Structure formats: C-alpha cells, structure tokens
Amino acid sequence: MSDRSTLRLLVVRVLVLSLLATLGGRLWYLQVLAAGDFSTAAADNRIREVITPAPRGSILDAAGRPMVRNRTALVVSVDSQALTRQPDAGIAVLHRLALVIRVPVRDLQRMIRPCAKGVPRPCWNGSPLQPVPVLADAPPQVALRIAEHQEDFPGVTAQFQAVRDYPRHSLAAHLLGYLAPITLDQLAASQRAGHRDTDLVGAAGLEKQYDSRLRGVDGVRQVTVDHAGLVTGTVSQTAPVQGGDLVTNLDARLQALAEKSLVEGLTTARKGHDKYGRPYRGTSGAVVVLGARTGAVLAMASYPSYDPTVWTGGISAQDYAQLTSAAAGVPLISRATQGEFAPGSTFKLASASAAVRGGYSLNSTYQCPGFYDVGNARFHNFEGIAEGSMNLRKALIKSCDTVFYRFGYEMWLRDGGVRPAKGQARELFARTAQAYGFGAATGLDLPAEAGGRIPDRAFKQAFWKLRRADYCAGARNPKFDALRRRLDQEFCTDGYRYRAGDAVNFAIGQGDVLVTPLQLAVAYAAMAGGGTVYRPQVAKAVLGPTGEVTWRAQPRAVRRLPIDKTTMDYIRSAMAGVTRPGGTAYGAFTDWPQDRIPIGGKTGTAEVGLTKASRQDTSWFVAFAPATDPQFVVVNMLEQVGTGGAYAAKVVRRVLDGMYGVSGQHAIFPGGRVPTALPRLRPDGTISVVPANLLAPAPAATSPAPAATSPAPAATSSGDHADLAGALGVSPCICARSPRVAGRQVPGGRPGVVATVSAAEAKARAP
Amino acid sequence: MSVPTFRLGPAASKDRLRRRESPLRRTDWVLTAAVLALGALGTLLVWSATRVRQESAGLDPQGFLKRHLLNLAIGLVLAVVTAAFDHRMLRAYAPIVFVASCVGLVAVLVIGSTINGAHSWIVLAGGFQLQPSEFAKVGLIVSMAMLLGEKRDGESVPRGSDVLVVLALAAVPLGLVMLQPDFGTALVLTFVILGVISVSGASAKWIVGLLAAGAIVAVLAVHLGVLKEYQLDRFKAFANPTADSHGAGYNTRQARIAIGSGGLTGKGLFKGTQTNGHFVPEQQTDFVFTVAGEELGLAGGGTIILLLGIVLWRGLSIAARAPDLFGRLVATGVVAWFAFQSFVNIGMTLGIMPVTGLPLPFVSYGGSAMIANLMAVGLLQNVHLRNTEP
C-alpha cells in the first residue's frame, strides 16, 4: 500500500480525534459551565401553576344581609385565539354559537375583539390569551349542547364559574359596583399584588374600592407537567384564602325604601306642570341618608338605576349601550356622587354662615323686598314676592332670596368689588362653602366622585384663561349674531372679573355653583352634628374568613366648621321651622309627629336657565332629624321637577317615615340611632343578622325599647336567633353566607339554608 | 511501513502471539467490548426514553426495550456472520450487496412510508420497519473498497479512471437517497466516499474537486429550492437558536436544556424530568444522547463519546494494519461512517450541528441502523481477523 494512503489514514485519525474533542468540550460547557441556566430552564419547563381562585367576599349591609354574594353559573366563553387558528377564523363556529345562545353574531364579534385605541365598546379588555365570557347563566341544555358537541364548537367552552350574585337585584347598584376582567394595564401595574390575567377585579363602586380586601389570596398548586401539559405530579400547594366580607353602613331596607321613594317622587312629579304648562320631565334623582355624627352612609339611591347582573359574565353590546345612553339618562352615573347640580336655596346654609362670619347679626332684621337691584341688573325674589322685614330665622324658613342677595352684594363690595386691592378680597362666601366641603370631593370611599364647583375669584380667572381664546375668536366670528359677538367680546376682555352678579347668584346657590347631593348631605351633617365635617363612609368593617373583624372603619373627621356654636344652634333651630306651618316644606310634614321627632330642613329650587328652552328646575330637600339632637341627614334631589317644598320634601318625608316607623311600618332605626354593632359569622358559616334596635348603642326615649335589657344577640351564636328576633318584633333575616366556590368545581351548596332565608324573611314581612 | 502504526491496548500488542490461535481468540476484543458497552448503555437509554411515554399511552412500558434487544440480538448474530465470512467471498458478494441495497432504495421510493419528512422506510409486518439506506452504507463501502482495492500491476494508487468509475457507482445510491429526500444519509455517504477515496491514495485533486463539488451542490440546493422548508428551518434554527422557540428551534432548545440540566453526574437513570416529561422529541432515536446527558450527566455523556472514540480508534488501527487495500478501505469507510454520524448526531443535541435525522451508532433505537452498524463492526472484525491470519 502506498505511503500516501497511510499518511491520509493518519490525517483521518487526527480529524476523528479533533471531532471527539470538540464534542467533549461542548459537553463540558453545557453540563458544567452553563448547567445552572439549564437547570432553571428545565424547572420552568415542567412546573406549572394551577390557580384555585380565592372565593371573593360578600358585601353585606350593616345588619349582615347580603347585598352581593357568589354563586355558580354556567358561563359560555370563547377562546378567540383558538378561533383565529381555524381556517375561516371561526366565523362558522360563531354562527353556530349565535344560534344556540341567541346572541347576534355581530354582538359576539364585538365582545371578543380586543380593545384598542379606536375600537368602541363593547370590546375585550382582558388578556388576549384568556377566553372571553359571552354568556353568563347559560341554560343547562345550552351548556350541554356546547360541551357535548365540541366538534361543532371548537374554541367554545361552557363551564361552571363563580359569578357575583345580587340577591336584591338592582338594589344599590351604583354603590356596589361590578367586576370586570382585569385589563392589561392593571395587570402590568399590579403584577406583584398577585393578580393574574384571568382575574376579575372590581371595576366600580365598593367592588373596586375594597377590591384588595374582598379578593382574598388565590390558592396555588405547583404541578409538574409533561411536554403536552399533562400533570404528572405536585410540587407544592397553598390553599386559597377567601376574601373578607365587607360590612357596610348601608341598611338594605332603608336603601330599598330610598330607591322606591325616589321613583315614586319622580313619578308624582311627572304629573305636575311647569309655568309653561309642560309636564315635569323628572329625568333623574338621588337620595342620600347619612349618619350626622359619623358620616356613615346609610343609604344612597340614584335614579335611573340598573341591574348589576348585566355585568356578570361580560356585558352585552345592547346592555352597555343602554347604560351609557343619554336617552335612558345614563344609568351608569350615580347622581348622588357623580351628578353636579345647582343647589339653589339649600346652599343658604353656607351663605347664612358666611354672612354671620361677615358680621351680620343673628338678632338684626333684614328687608325681604320683591327684587334687589345691583347696578342696572335686577335680581328677583322667588316669584317676585315681597315679604317685608324679617330676622335671619324667617329668611331661612321663607327662603327669602333678596336678603341673601344683599349679603352677597355687600360682602362683594367689601372684598373690593371688581377690582380688589391685593389681600382685600376675603371671599368669605366661597371660603365658608369650601369649609362645608363644597367644591371638592368629599373623600367618600367610592371611586370616581365628582367635586362640584365653588366659583370664587380664582375660579373665574382660571376659567377665563382656559376659554379666552374661544370667546375672543367668537367675538370676531361673522357667523354669530351681534348679541353673541358682544357677549363673547365681553368675556374675551373682562371674563376674568368677579362681578357683582356672580356674588349675588352665589349667595343663593345659583350661577356657577354646582354641588353633588352627597356634598350637600355632608355639609348639613357637619352643621347638624355639631360642627365637624366627616368624610362619608360606606364601608363599616371587614370580617375575615372565620368571622373575626379584620378591619374596622373609624369616623374620619376632615375639619371643624369655622362657625361658632351659637350660630350653628341658631341655624339648626331656624331650619326646624321649615317643616312647620309657614315653612317652605310644611306641606310634606303636616301630619309629622313634630313633638316626638322634630325635623329640621331646607328646601331648594334651582333654576337651570331662564328661558323656556332650558331645563326645568332642580328640586331639593335636605332634612336632619331629630332637629334637637340630629342623628340623620336625608337629602333628596329631583332633576327637572318643580319646587323643593312640593316634590323633594315629600320624598324625604317617605324616607323618614320608614326610618322612624311613623306611618305604621316597622321602624328601620327603632332607636333613632345609627347602628354601630357588627354582624357576626356563625360557626356554620352563616352571618347572624343583628336586629336593628339592638344595633343602636342606646335606645332613644322616643322609641319603645323592648331590647334594652336583652343581651347582645351577636354573642349568642345559637340557632334560635330567628326566634329571638321574631319575639322582639323586628325583622329577622338569617342570611346564608354565599356558597363558596372553588375553581370550576360545582359546589355542594346549601339549598336548605337559602330556603331558610326566604322563609324567615317571608315570616317577618307578615303582619 | 515507514509510517508508524497506532496500536491500542494489549490485544494489539499481542498480535504475534495470537497468530496461530483460533479466530475467536484473535477477535479484537477491545472493539467488541466497546460496542457491547455502547449497546448496553443504549438499551438503558432507549428504555428510559420510552418507558413513561409508553405507559401513559397505555402501551407496554418495555415495548421499545424488547424490540431494541431483539434488534441488538439480530445485529450481533449478523455481525458474527459477517466477521466469519471468508473475505474472498466478501468481495464476491460485494456487487450483490450493492445491487440489493440499490434495489431497496428504489423500492422505498415506490412502496415506502414517510416519517419526519423523509420517505425512507419500508413498513414490515409486526411493527418493524426497514430502512434500506442504512444497508446501502454497507453496500457502498464494500463495493468501493472492492473497486479501488483491485490492484493493477505496479500501481500503488488507483488510477483516475478507477476513481471515476467509483464515483459513478456511488452516485447511484447517493442520488436515490437524495430523492427520498434523506440529506443526513446523503451526507454520510458523501463523507464515506470522500474518506475511502482519500485513503485509497488517489490524487489530491480528486479530494479537492470532490469538496468543491460538494460545496457547489450545497449552495445550489439552497438557492434552487431543492431543500424542503423544514430542512431550511432546521438550518435557520441552528444559525439563530433563539429565533423560534416553538418551531424548529424547539427541539434543539429542549435537547440542550435536557443535557445542560444533567450537570456532572446527571439526575439519575429514569429520573430525567425532560425525558420523563417527553420534552425532547425523537428521544429514543435521533436525540438519544440527551437521555444520557440528562440522566447520567457528563459522566454518562463522556463515557459514550469515549466508547465511540475507542470504536473509531480500533477501526483506524485495523485499517492501518490491513494487509491489503481492500481491507483498509473497508475499515476506513466504516470509520468515516461512524465518525461522521456520531459527530453530527451528538453535535446536533449539543447545538453545534444542525438537526439531521441521523441516529447515534449502537445507541439509538432503530432496527435497520443497529443491524447495519453491527454488520459494519463485523466487517471491521473480518478485516482484523485477516490481519492476524496465520
């Protein structure tokens, strides 16, 4: 054989050696130098987290009646990712699904399209990887059809899921809020808080405000999986911790009464006519009931309302349009906290306080002419009636506007008028109103509260700066008529000035003044309750899974009013005359037992415009009761209705009837006090409902108090609670704690307990 | 010979003592031991790779193990037969083996089944499949050795015409394999051809020419769209491993995770999480090395590389000491085959070679490959016995 052959064989040997050395070196690198990274990667590969959702806590009223709880429902969901992978992008499946669940295909497509800039609602705001619920509460036969014919419905599932249940339907819808799938933004912001892309989070109301307390901690099971995701074992496991139950200051019965009275008030008002002979529109309204000494929100109603179940399992296109439609009055908006209205004469509380601070004596007499001239402008008294001379008490009882015009005008002059010297303008009217809490959000524990508007000199400046360019352009716009151009020119040059007319309008709660019904309630509570402005508070406490109190709300004082006690007592006593003969609200309180429960109050009738085309008046009434030792404040606002005395006062009267049990019903607050006790969790997981008269710290003398000597029922966690309550003659309610739902299992449920609730409640309602 | 021969182990150094001993005693026992060790390791690894998956599919967990052992037994028997063959008869049979393997390659194109993109298998009864391209490797080696090893008077190196004839002959199985298309096997055949022609002593211009031609063919294949998309994807995934973690890059990434997470001593046999979770596809065949890497660690993987090294080294020693060019070329061909295939197979699991469907010799599951590999070892032993013939 040739040497060449042998030599080449040697080359082959070297080649083979180097190949083997390469493999060995690479193996060394992977298994020694980079082993750590690969070990992590191997663990990531095979370990998955299985989430057992923590049951969300219930929302209860002060006595423990459930207002929101959980139940299981069959939810039909569409995995849009799976649909897009189908040859026709899932069109055929959607058409089949539309027929089965009776939702138009167009609506289905809208519900599952991802939200993005320029995509109108409804759209899917959650993770694109998460199936989109398209129908909650699917009838079992529909769910079965989808589950059993998966070949017809690839990417569609029908499964049991925990959904929110509203045992009292639309009751307190604006307060409770609703859940919505977590948005990608929220998810990114709260990754550390343990949120997952499949989470439902509170999107409004108490559900949003107290989301972290209600939600609990999801259980996590780490499992090992194979390449196909099939579980092969468990690595670690933590049990879910259910969310706390939120006890509110609300009383479900009072809330129901407030909502009912509001609707009745508007219905009645629509039968009346304005001065042009048109029926009142009665488009919206609100009722707020506050504890005068704590800021506790006992009831808060807003009309129009809606049934929060529309949010369960994804809101339909039609429902969402309805909630946000102007024609339907935008039911989504809470008029009590988000509606801003001119307060009219109810604002005289602040004006009277400001006048006294400005040096007007409580003992002087003031003229109440039919009109008051400021420069060349004439400001009329209500309906132009002259009432002669009167003291401040009568000015409040009669609601004489001209008395307050004078206060406003004279104090405006003292402030330096249009051109104040530096530091001259004390703006006592605006400052006093702000001290009462107007012009800023009250700090209520609900999201998205409106702040109202107190138009002081700074406001005029800011507004002018903001809009000057528009008006200056308007002044030169040939399309506008001469008057419009002149007005625009005036604003353009002088719009920043705080004019006499502004001050005069301010004094009677007109002009640019805007308040929310809640702000009005807070202001009157501050005056009636002794001078402390409280932050209104819906939530009262949070009960942990075993019923222990994990959080307790404390009354949160914001500030003291800058008004002395004498003045407050004077105003309080003056306003007690409003519901008496000669007062503007006497009509609604003719048969009220004033000797037992004196009622103080103030009417308001705010004009929204001066022409026929403008909106009808806003009708207001604020009451505090008892006037001698105020415990409650009740506010009613009716939009596009007549006078406060004629309409709003009657709504408040109905609410007070129920609270004190005046017109034959059981009193909701028999002690005449704001309840302070908390409901307790029983060992069997149910909440024991505290009878209302036992909730009160001390029974009032005005009320028979059979429970005064009874032990606190909360301590008796026995099963005879219903009997005890029944014997006491008050409404018992054994309320089942919501069936806790874990994961997608169907819970055993406790139908017996639920039945007990209905029976107990039915029994209680019987005379 | 002026060039020093490389000898390894006592068996080699005792050649002279064995001259008159029986063929059984004269067998290269180091080679045999290394091959048997690889076979035993492979058996464990194939078992580990298939045990859990078979069980979860409701099949016999030892199903692959049993078939693998059967393949191994058949292969060993045929290896003994091959080793015991009279080498003169071997030359005589070479054309028959070659023609038979070419017929097999044609048959597979007509009646074969497609697995993983390559139309390479003839499905037989009883769950067995025949892969004619594996036997074509044996046939090609023996035929080339016969043609190039036929000595002409006074010539120590093959003529150009001989090389041409050999190339023309080799083009037949190469072309047929390309038609399947099984580029892995085609590459193996190319390297075998290159190795055999080189060691035959043919002029260097042939080697350079062959390398150049190979490069041109490769470039043309990419640009003319001869390669299938999955094949291009494999190369892309190789060039940029992070680009596609779910498609073509998935296999290689999972393979590296398996091996890398094994560390020095591995997670223990049957305890690999990547293996038991079946994260690495084709793990009992092309990716069997990942089982060793994960469960036996650097110790196990290194042992396999070492054992393969022993096999190759013994093969090269047998080639070096072959009494005639035929024997040398047969041994060289077998070594080129094993070396290239081992490097590409292990290299792809380590992420330094693109994915090609080549099994790891003696270790991977697969009857045709196992039998062909063991028959090739039989050829090496046959040559070795001729070296030491009395």
**pLDDT of A756:** 28
**pLDDT of A708:** 34
Q: Quick check: B316 contacting A, CB < 8 Å?
A: yes
- pLDDT tens-digit map of A147-170: 888 888 888 888 777 788 899 988
Q: Which residues of A touch B347 (CB under 8 A)?
A: 22-23, 26
> Which of B257, B271, B283, B304 to mutate to test binding with chain A, by most A CBs within 10 Å of its CB?
B257
**pLDDT of A389:** 93
Q: What is the DSSP string of A355-404?
A: HHHTT--TT-EEEE-SEEEETTEEEEPGGG---EEEEHHHHHHHT-HHHH
Count how many residues are written for chain B.
390
pLDDT higher than threshold 80 for residue B178: yes
Give SS3 for A606. Answer: strand
In angstroms, the separation between the Cα of residue A6 and the nearest Cα of chain B is: 7
In angstroms, the separation between the Cα of residue B3 and the nearest Cα of chain A is: 7
Q: Helices B367-387 and B325-350: crossing angle, nearest 10°?
A: 140
Q: Please report which confidence band the pLDDT of residue A738 belongs to, taking 50, 70 and 90 as the band edges.
A: very low
d(CA A265, CA A357): 37
User: Is B259 in Cβ contact with A31 (below 8 Å)?
Assistant: yes
Q: Quick check: B339 contacting A, CB < 8 Å?
A: yes
d(CA A715, CA A536): 29
User: Is A13 in Cβ contact with B6 (below 8 Å)?
Assistant: yes
Q: Backbone phi, then psi, for A163, in 5-degree steps?
A: -130, 160
d(CA B335, CA B319): 9
pLDDT higher than threshold 90 for residue B214: no
Q: Which residue among B279, B316, B325 places its CB closest to the CB of A12?
A: B316
Q: Quick check: B312 contacting A, CB < 8 Å?
A: yes
Q: Quick check: B94 contacting A, CB < 8 Å?
A: no
pLDDT higher than threshold 70 for residue B336: yes
User: Is B199 in Cβ contact with A23 (below 8 Å)?
Assistant: no
Are A460 and A389 spatial neighbours (Cβ–Cβ below 8 Å)?
no
d(CA A734, CA A686): 8
d(CA A64, CA A691): 10
Q: Which residue has the higher pLDDT, B333 or A714?
A: B333
Bin A314: left if φ > 0, else alpha if -120 < ψ < 50, else beta. Answer: left
pLDDT higher than threshold 50 for residue B39: yes
Residue with tokens 């909701």: A668
What was the ipTM of the complex prediction? Answer: 0.90
d(CA A9, CA B4): 11
- pLDDT tens-digit map of A613-653: 778 999 999 999 999 999 999 999 999 998 888 899 999 99
Mean per-residue pLDDT of chain A: 83
pLDDT higher than threshold 60 for residue B242: no
User: Is A46 in Cβ contact with B279 (below 8 Å)?
Assistant: yes
Residue B106 tokens read as 């044609």
User: Is B301 in Cβ contact with A230 (below 8 Å)?
Assistant: no
First to last CA, chain A: 122
Bin A10: left if φ > 0, else alpha if -120 < ψ < 50, else beta. Answer: alpha
pLDDT higher than threshold 90 for residue B114: no
pLDDT higher than threshold 50 for residue A606: yes
Q: Quick check: B117 contacting A, CB < 8 Å?
A: no
Q: Which residues of A touch B199 (CB under 8 A)?
A: 5, 8-9, 12
Are A64 and B290 spatial neighbours (Cβ–Cβ below 8 Å)?
no
pLDDT higher than threshold 60 for residue B19: no
Q: Backbone phi, then psi, for B7, in 5-degree steps?
A: -125, 145
Give SS3 for A654. Answer: helix
Q: Backbone phi, then psi, for A645, in 5-degree steps?
A: -65, -35
- pLDDT tens-digit map of A346-361: 999 999 999 999 999 9
d(CA B84, CA B77): 11
Mean per-residue pLDDT of chain B: 84
Nearest to B259 by CA among B295, B223, B228, B206: B295
**pLDDT of B355:** 84
Are B349 and B49 spatial neighbours (Cβ–Cβ below 8 Å)?
no
- pLDDT tens-digit map of B54-105: 887 788 889 999 999 999 999 999 999 999 887 778 888 888 888 988 998 8
d(CA A733, CA A717): 14
Q: Which residues of B touch A7 (CB under 8 A)?
A: 3
Rounded average pLDDT over A709-729: 32
User: Is A15 in Cβ contact with B261 (below 8 Å)?
Assistant: no
Which residues are paired to A390 by β-bridges? Answer: A366
Q: Which residues of A touch B325 (CB under 8 A)?
A: 1, 5
pLDDT higher than threshold 90 for residue A131: no
Q: Backbone phi, then psi, for A604, in 5-degree steps?
A: -150, 140
Q: Please, what is the Cα angle at A274 between A371 and A276, to 5 degrees?
A: 85
Are B18 and B25 spatial neighbours (Cβ–Cβ below 8 Å)?
yes
pTM of the model: 0.66
Q: What is the DSSP string of A37-78?
A: HHHHHHHHHHEEEEEEPPPPPPEE-TT--EEEEEEEEEEEEE
- pLDDT tens-digit map of A398-422: 999 999 999 999 999 999 988 898 8
pLDDT higher than threshold 70 for residue A140: yes
pLDDT higher than threshold 50 for residue B320: yes
> Which of B252, B254, B273, B341 to mutate to test binding with chain A, by most A CBs within 10 Å of its CB?
B273
Residue in chain A nearest B157 by alpha carbon: A2
Q: Quick check: B129 contacting A, CB < 8 Å?
A: no
Nearest to A346 by CA among A589, A655, A634: A634
d(CA B312, CA A16): 8
**pLDDT of A197:** 65
Q: Which residue among B200, B273, B325 places its CB closest to the CB of A46?
A: B273
User: Is B260 in Cβ contact with A226 (below 8 Å)?
Assistant: no
Strand A47-52 and strand A532-535: pairing?
Answer: unpaired
Are A251 and A257 spatial neighbours (Cβ–Cβ below 8 Å)?
no
